[in-house]
A and B are shown apart, each in its own frame.
Chain A
Amino acid sequence: MSDFAVDVRNVSKRFRLAHGQYNTVKERIIHGGRRKATEDFWALSDVSLTVPEGQTVGILGRNGSGKSTLLKCICGVLQPTKGEVAVRGKLAGLLELGAGFQQDLSGRENIYLNGSLLGMSKREVDRAFDAIVDFSELEEFIDGPVKFYSSGMAVRLGFAVAVNVDPDVLVIDEVLAVGDERFQRKCLDRVKLFQREGRTILLVTHSADTVRSICDRGVVLSHGRLIAEGEPGEATRIFRERLMAEGAGMSIVDPAEVAVPVAPGTGAAALPDEERPVRFRSVHRVYSGDNSVAYMTTGDDLTIRVEFEALHPVPDVVFSLEFRDDYGNTILRTDTSIIGIQIAAPRGISVMHFGVVDMPMLDGSYSFALGIQSRDGILYDWMEQAGKFEVMNPGKATGMLRMNVHAALISTESDLDSALA
C-alpha cells in the first residue's frame, strides 16, 4: 500500500524480565559478571498493521496485551527488537500528558519546552501559543509555576500542547480518560476535528464505546499478538468475547457459597435457620441466543431459573429480583407480587423462573440479586450476587439502553419559503 500513514512491519518486542536486577558492579561481580537468569517476555510478536492516511484506528486489548508497547514502538520511544515501523509525516504521541513538564518552571516556559520535546520549532510554538493557552483555559495561571497546578490543569496543558503540534499522525494512549467530563468532551471534539481534517489517528483505549463511536477500524491485541482487525463493531465484539473467555466464566451460583446478607430496606436481620422455611438451592440463567458464547446480545431473552427448597409448605412466597449495572446502580427492582403471581411453596424442592423478554441493555456487564420473602416482608433468603451476565451490542449505538429512535428530515428553509409563497 502506497498511501500508508503508519506501517508496522512484523514488529516484535522482547522484554527481559529479571527477577531483581543486578544493577551494581558488586552484584555483577558476585554473580560472575552475568545478569541473573532472565526470562524473555515477548510483549509483541510479529505484529503487522498498515494504517492508511486519514484513518482512525482504535487498538483494544486487556492490560498487558501489548497495546502501549505497540504505541511506544510507533512513536519511537521504544525500539522494536525485530521488524520496523514506518511513519509518514509528523507524528505526535500523547503517551502521557505533560511528560517532561518541569515543575519549577511556569506554564509558559513549559509550553516552549514541551513543544520542542514534541518536535516543534520556536516559531511554531510562537504561532500556536495563543491557541494552546486558549485550549488549556489556563490564561490566568500561565505564568505561574506548574507545580502549583492541579493535576487536571497540568493534563489540560499537556493535551493542549500536543494537539497544537499540528501532527499528521496523532497517537493517543488512554489519555482521553483524564480530566473532567467537559474537558474530555473537548478533547474528543478535537480528535473528531482532526479526523475531518484528514489526519491519521491511532488510539489505545479500554472503552469499546470510544472505538465504536469514533474509529474507522478496530484492532485487537492479545498477549502481544494481533488477533483481529476490522470494523469497529466486529473488533469490539471480538475484544469483549476474548475478555470474557479469559475472565471468569461463571454460570451457576452455588448457594452454599453465597453469604446471606440483610436485604436492603427490610431492616430485619435474617432469621435463624428454623425460621427460614424457604431457601435457594441454585440459580441458572439461560439466553435465548447462542449459548456457546459467554455473553448475550442486546434483544435476547433471558431466563433465570431458580431452584428452591421449602422445609414445610408455605402458602404465599414472594420472589424478588434486582438487576444492577457494573457500578451497582439498580436498573430494575421487581418481585412476583408486583408481577402479580402468587406462589405457594410445597414441601421439598421446587423450581420457578423469571423471564426477561427482549433485553434492552447495550454493552456492559450486569448482575442480579434474588430474594425470597413472605408476603408480609419477612426475608427468608437473599442472594446478593445471584448471577452475572455480559451483554454485547451488535449495533453502532452506545450508551445504556436500546431505544427505538426514529429520525427524518421534516422541512427545510426552501420548503418554508415555498409554503409562504
Chain B
Amino acid sequence: MAAEAVGVSPRAARHGNITRIVTPTISVRKRLREIWLSRELLIYLVRTEIKVKYKNSVLGLVWSMVAPAMTLAIYFFVFQIVLGNHTPNFVIFLFAGLLLWNLFSLGVLTGTGVVVSNAGIVKKVSFPREILALAAVGSACVFFFFQSIVMVLFMIVLHSGPDWSYLPVLVLALITGIVLASAIAVLLSSVNVYLRDTQHLIEVILTAWFWACPIVYLYQEQIAKRLGPKGLTWVYFLNPMVPLILSFQRCIYAHPTTHAVVNGVYTTFYVLPEKGMGWYVGLDAAVLFLSLVLFLIALAVFGRLEGNFAEEL
C-alpha cells in the first residue's frame, strides 16, 4: 500500500503542471513549439521513409544517386553534344543547379501528398501533422546529401574547384531552399486533403518551374542578354528559385565568365552575372525572408484546414 502511495505523488509532481489544451484552432506560435518538441519524430519519419523506400532493393540508396546521374547524363548529351553547347565543364554547371532543384522539387512533390498517404496515422494518432510534410523535405535533404557526394567526385575528376569564398552564400541558399520547400509542402499537403488535384497539378507546375530556372541553360547568355536591354530581368527574378540556383552555380561552378577554344575559335562564355557577393546575399536573404513569411502563412492555413482532416480522409 505504501508503495502505491509513493507511486502517485511523483507522478503529480512530474507532469502535474503540464497542461495541454485542445482547442478549435492552435496558434501559429504553439504550432512552432510543438514542431520543435517533435523534432525526434521528424528524424524517425525521415529515416523510416528512406528505409522503406529502399528496403527491398539490392542497391538501396545508390539508386538515389543513379537516377539523378542519369538525368544529368541525358541533359549533358542533349545540350552539349546534340545542341552543341561548348561551355567548359558544363556537367558541373548542370549538377550545381540540379542539386538544389532536386531537393526542392522532391520535397514539394512528396510533401504535397504526404497527409493523404498517411491518412492512417493522421486519423488515429495525435502529433503535429506538419511534421509529415517536413519529413518529406527532410528525406529530400538526405538525397541531396548523397547527390552532393557524387558531385564532389565529379568535381575532383574534372579538376573543377569551387569558389570557396562563396560557400557561405551556398549555405544561405540551401537553407532558403529548404525553408521555401517546407513552406510550400506544408501549405499544399493540407490543401491536397480537400482538393486532391493539387498533387497532380503540382507535378505539372514543377515541370514548368524547372524550365523557368537557369539550370540547363546559362542565365547570362540566355536571359540577361535578352531581357537585360528591355529592363525586364526583374520579371525573371520573380521566380524565387532563380537567385538560389545562381548562388549554387556561383559557388560550385565558380566562373561567371569563362573562355574556351571551340572549333579553333577563341570563345567567351558568359555564364553567370558579374555581380559581387553582396548581390547574391541580398537576393537570397530577401527570398529567405519571404519563405519564412510563407512558412508562417502555411502553418496558419494548415491549422485552419487540419481540424477537418479526419473527416475528409
Query: Which residues of B86-115 are within 8 A (CB) of A?
Result: none
Question: CA–CA, A349 to B192, complex, Å?
Answer: 72
- The reply to whether B24 and A81 form a contact with Cβ atoms under 8 Å apart is yes
CB <8 Å contact, A76 and B196:
no
Q: Given the known A-B contacts A15-B311, A86-B20, are A77 and B123 also in contact in the complex, defined by CB atoms under 8 Å?
A: yes
**Which residues of B lie under 8 Å from residue A113 when comparing CB positions?**
44-45, 48
A-B contact count (CB 8 A): 131
Q: Nearest chain A CB to B194's CB is how many angstroms away?
A: 7
Q: Mark B186-212, 1 if CB is under 8 A from A, else 0.
A: 000000001111000100000000000
Residues of A contacting B124 with CB < 8 Å? 77, 95-96, 99-100
- How many residues in B have their beta carbons less than 8 Å from beta carbons of A? 45
Interface status of B222 (Cβ within 8 A of chain A): no
* CB neighbours of B20 from chain A (8 A): 76, 86-88, 91
Query: Which A residues lie within 8 Å of B197 (CB)?
Result: 24-26
A28 interface contact, C-beta 8 A: yes
B156 sits at the interface (CB 8 A): no
Give the interface centre of B21, B38, B118, B126 by most chain A CB atoms within 10 Å: B126
Q: Is A209 an interface residue (CB 8 A)?
A: no
- A82→B24 contact, CB < 8 A: yes
User: Is A63 close to B, CB under 8 A?
Assistant: no
Question: Chain A CB within 10 Å — which of B15, B48, B124 has the most?
Answer: B124
Q: Chain B, 52-64, contact with A by CB distance < 8 Å: what is the 0/1 string? A: 1001100000000
Q: Are B126 and A93 in contact (CB under 8 A)?
A: yes
Q: Are A117 and B127 in contact (CB under 8 A)?
A: yes
Q: Determine whether the beta carbon of A118 is less than 8 Å from that of B125.
A: yes
What's the least CB distance linking B299 to chain A, in Å?
15
Q: CB distance B120 to A100 under 8 Å? A: yes
Q: How far is the CA of A364 from the CA of B123 in the complex (A)?
A: 34
Interface centre among B7, B123, B127, B311 (most CB of A within 10 A): B311
Residue B51 interfacial (CB < 8 Å): yes
In chain A, what residue has the closest Cβ to B37? A119
Report A57-98 residues with CB < 8 Å from chain B CB: 72-91, 93, 95-96
- Are B44 and A197 within 8 A (Cβ)? no
Q: Indicate if A310 sits at the interface (CB-CB under 8 A).
A: no
Asked whether any CB of chain A lies closer than 8 Å to the CB of B41, the reply is yes
What is the minimal beta-carbon distance from B123 to any residue of chain A, in angstroms? 7
Q: Which of A101-109, A296-304, A377-385 contacts B (4 or more CB under 8 A)?
A: A101-109
A16 at the interface (CB under 8 A from B): yes
- Separation of A69 and B123 alpha carbons in the complex (Å): 11
Smallest CB-CB separation from A198: which chain B residue? Answer: B8
Q: Contacts A24-B196, A79-B23 given; indicate if A88 touches B18 (C-beta within 8 A).
A: yes
State which of A73, A95, A100, A121 has its C-beta within 8 Å of the C-beta of B22: A73
Please provide the chain B residues from 122 to 173 with a CB less than 8 Å away from any CB of chain A in the complex.
123-127
How many residues of chain A have a CB within 8 Å of chain B? 52
A342 at interface (Cβ–Cβ under 8 A)? no
- Whether B196 lies near A23 (C-beta < 8 A) is yes
Nearest opposing residue in chain B for A79, CB measure: B307
The distance from the CB of A203 to the nearest CB of chain B, in whole angstroms, is 16
Give the Cβ gap from A50 to chain B, nearest Cβ, in Å. 14
Decide if B11 is an interface residue (CB 8 Å cutoff): yes
Q: Write the nearest CB–CB distance from B124 to chain A, whole angstroms.
A: 4
A233 sits at the interface (CB 8 A):
no
The answer on a CB contact under 8 Å between B21 and A86 is yes
B15 near A88 with CB under 8 A, answer yes
Q: How far is the CA of A119 from the CA of B306 in the complex (A)?
A: 19
Of the candidates A23, A81, A122, the one having the most CB atoms from chain B within 10 angstroms of its own CB is: A23
Q: Do residues B23 and A89 form an inter-chain contact, with CB atoms below 8 A?
A: no
Q: Which of A25, A82, A99, A121 contacts B40 (CB 8 A)?
A: A121
Q: Is B8's CB under 8 angstroms from A80's CB?
A: no
Indicate if B25 sits at the interface (CB-CB under 8 A).
yes
Contact partners of A25 in chain B: CB under 8 A: 195, 197, 201
Bound Cα distance from A325 to B118, whole angstroms: 43
| Least Cβ–Cβ distance between B40 and chain A, in angstroms | 5
B40, A102: Cβ atoms under 8 Å? Answer: no
Contact at B126–A104, with CB atoms within 8 Å?
A: no
Taking A87-B20, A93-B126 as contacts, is the C-beta distance between A54 and B8 under 8 angstroms? yes
Q: Give the residues in chain B near A102, CB-CB below 8 Å.
A: 48, 52
Closest chain-B Cβ to A181's Cβ sits at a distance in Å of 25
Report Cα–Cα, A153/B176, bound state, in Å.
45
Within the complex, which residue of B11, B15, B125 is in contact with A93, where a contact is CB–CB below 8 Å? B125
- From 15 to 46 in chain B, residues with beta carbon under 8 angstroms from any chain A beta carbon are 15-16, 18-26, 38, 40-41, 44-45
* Bound-state Cα–Cα, A335 to B216, Å: 94
Q: Is the CB of A88 within 8 A of B16?
A: yes
Known contacts A25-B195, A25-B197; is A197 also within 8 Å of B19 by CB? no
A168 close to B (CB within 8 Å): yes
B200–chain A nearest beta-carbon distance, Å: 9
A79:B22 contact, CB within 8 angstroms = yes
For residue A309, CB closer than 8 A to chain B, the reply is no
- 11 additional A-B pairs beyond A75-B126, A100-B124, A197-B4, beta carbons within 8 Å, are A16-B311, A77-B125, A78-B307, A78-B310, A85-B22, A88-B16, A90-B15, A99-B124, A100-B121, A122-B40, A198-B7
A interface residues with partner B (beta carbon < 8 Å): 15-16, 21, 23-26, 28, 53-54, 72-91, 93, 95-96, 99-100, 102, 104-105, 109, 112-113, 116-119, 121-122, 168, 196-199
- Report which B residues bind A (CB closer than 8 A): 4, 7-8, 11-12, 15-16, 18-26, 38, 40-41, 44-45, 48, 51-52, 55-56, 118, 120-121, 123-127, 194-197, 201, 306-308, 310-312
Closest 6 CB pairs of A and B: A99-B124, A198-B8, A89-B15, A76-B126, A79-B307, A85-B22
A-B contact pairs, 18 of them (CB 8 A): A15-B311, A28-B195, A73-B22, A77-B310, A79-B25, A80-B22, A80-B23, A86-B22, A88-B15, A88-B18, A96-B124, A99-B123, A100-B118, A102-B52, A104-B55, A105-B48, A105-B52, A117-B121
